Structure 1
Amino acid sequence: MAPGERLLVKYDGPIVLGDVVIFKRDESIEIKRVSRIDAQGLFVVGDNELVSTDSRSYGLIAFDAMLGTASVRLWPKPGRIKG
C-alpha cells in the first residue's frame, strides 16, 4: 500500500492466508499480508519483502490487535487487493 490509498475494510469475519490485514502495533496502525496463521496469532509480511519490517522482525501479531481486512482499493486505482 502506498501513502494516501483508500481501502474498503471489513471489520469482522475470518482471516485467511493471503489476506491484507490492518492491525495495531505499538503506537501505530500497520497493513501487512498474512503469511501464516498460528494458534497464538498471525505471521505477517510486507509485499516488498526485501525492505519490509514485519513479523520476521517483531514476531506474531495477536488476534486481538487485528482491526480488519482490506479487500478493495478505492483510490487512486480502484480494484481488488490480490492475495
Structure 2
Amino acid sequence: MELVFCLLFGGPSMVGALLELSKNSKDHVATSTAFTFFRLLEPHVYFLYSQYRFDKGDIGRLFIAGLGSSMLLGIIVGSLADKQV
C-alpha cells in the first residue's frame, strides 16, 4: 500500500517539482496587478481571523475546509453545468 501511495503521489510530485525548477526566466508568465492583489489578500484574511481570536490551527482548518469544499463542489457544479449545456 505504501508503494502504491508513493507511486501515485510521489512520482507526479517529483516530476512537477523538477519541471518547476527547470524553468528559466523566459518561461515565467507576467502576472497582472489584479492577480498580484488577489495573492496579497491571503495574509490579510489570516490577520482578520487572528483579530477574531482564532488560533493558528483553527485558521489552517478554515483554509483547508474552504479549499476542500470548493474543490468538491466545483467538481459537482461543473459536471452539472456540462450536462445542462
TM range (shorter): under 0.3
Q: TM-score, normalised by structure 1?
A: 0.19
Higher relative contact order (CA 8 A, sep 6+): 1
Q: Which has the higher strand share?
A: 1
Higher-Rg structure is: 2
More helix by proportion, 1 or 2? 2
